[in-house]
Structure 1
Amino acid sequence: MTIAEEKKDLRRRIRAQERELSPRYKEQSAAAIAAIVCALPDYQEADTVFCFVGTEREIDTRAILDDALAKGKRLCLPLCMAEPGIMELRVVASLDELVPGAYGILEPAADTVCLTPDEVDFAVLPCLSCSRGGHRLGQGGGYYDRFLSTYRGSAALLCRERLLREDVPVEPHDMPVPWVVTENGLYEDGVPARIK
């Protein structure tokens, strides 16, 4: 089996596992994860934050988005482009500006300000699953792989503890994310860490 086939198989298994999670667990884990992210010094010190808008099957990031806007941070969200695997980082001043995008995910409007990855201080990233060492299993579209190939700032990968997997297949282009946040806490380079 190729690594691509292993990833496809693991995506199928993780999606099935995610569907079995209770709404209560999802809500509680999302709230705990958001609280940890908002307590991270790198997040607190960041002027510009890049974050995703969580779908029903992902971590609900609304608390992080609301916190960033309330603290006056410049918040940018992904806008998926027509070209597969390409997203732009677009600035939003209010979550009321978001509109359903190509995949039904709320996105910024096409006329909003576009930033480069170099302008982001802190990034909050999604995954289907990941290892504690920050190897992520995404949806397979390559959007965040492309982002991570050029991004050099601080980043946190969000994953529910019950969906962590140490056997995430890795290809040469897969970039690990140093920080993983679950409802149980923070992992830094695979090791449980304290928030300073």
Structure 2
Amino acid sequence: MTGICALDAPQGNGMIEAKPNEQAVFDMEKKEIRALMRRQKQALTEDFVADYSRRVTQRFTALPEYERARVLYAYLTFNEEIRTDGLIRRAWADGKRVAVPRVLGKGVMEFYYIDSFDGFITSAFGVPEPPEDPAKLADERDVLLLMPGLAFDRAHNRVGYGGGFYDRYIERGEAAGTVFFKPALAYPFQIVDGIDAQEHDIRVDAVITADEVF
């Protein structure tokens, strides 16, 4: 079970209300965490998302791991996720190659190089994906891999979207000798007290918010 921090949550009419940075729910299964985080993100305004994304991009691109990287495996955002388009443009401007994921089948995901935001296809999940082009298949051995997620704790455990695509991709890559550095971008409310991680769950290597890196 997972504990989420409760910070002075007001209780009125027998109900517990949660502000965007205050989760008053304990012992939640991952499914419940996902539902809570989706609700929190849906309350964000477009202006807030844009400003926060800009600030997180500045902090992310100051990482020494970013400065050293030749290639960035990123992802294309949708809904109220922290925007990655500015980060991707910055990586191109810094002379880095960028690849983004495409789901090829049940449990199978690959990354493909992109050099523009043209020609993307919307997947069944509503996520923009690059075309399947074998000539652009990314197969690096030293990778800065941006990890999506709905919640994180300070031990670097992660609650993803439930498909397990990244866990399997990283396991397969590491078995082939690929070295990954795996940062994640997060809103403050996505940082929780603890996540009941399973043995097969892959941790991130760093979590970046607009105010800190841990």
- Map of 2:46 onto structure 1: 23
**Deviation string, structure 1 residues 72-123 (Cα, Å, up to 9, x no partner):** 2111100111x2221101111212242323323211111251123x434311
Aligned 1:1-196 pairs, distance under 5 A: 6-81=29-104, 83-111=105-133, 112-116=135-139, 118-149=140-171, 150-151=173-174, 152-187=179-214
Percent same amino acid at aligned positions?
A: 27
Name the structure with the higher helix share: 1
CA distance in 1, matches of 2:169, 2:211: 27
Root mean square deviation of aligned Cα: 2.0
CA distance in 1, matches of 2:46, 2:125: 22
Q: 1:7: how far off?
A: 0.8
Query: Aligned pairs, how many?
Result: 183
Q: TM-score, normalised by structure 1?
A: 0.85
Structure 2 residue matching 1:180: 3-state secondary structure: strand
Q: Which amino acid aligns with 1:84?
A: K
**Deviation string, structure 1 residues 36-71 (Cα, Å, up to 9, x no partner):** 111112112211110011112311001111011122
CA distance in 2, matches of 1:53, 1:184: 23
Q: TM-score, normalised by structure 2?
A: 0.78
- Map of 1:192 onto structure 2: none
CA distance in 1, matches of 2:41, 2:196: 19
Kindly indicate whether the alpha-carbon contact (under 8 Å) linking 1:37 and 1:43 is maintained by their aligned counterparts in 2: yes
CA distance in 2, matches of 1:110, 1:24: 33
CA distance in 2, matches of 1:10, 1:73: 35
Structure 1 residue matching 2:29: 3-state secondary structure: helix
Q: Unpaired segments of 5 or more residues in structure 1? A: 188-196
Kindly indicate whether the alpha-carbon contact (under 8 Å) linking 2:78 and 2:126 is maintained by their aligned counterparts in 1: no
- Of 99-108 and 45-54, more deviation after overlay is shown by 99-108
Q: Which amino acid aligns with 1:181?
A: I
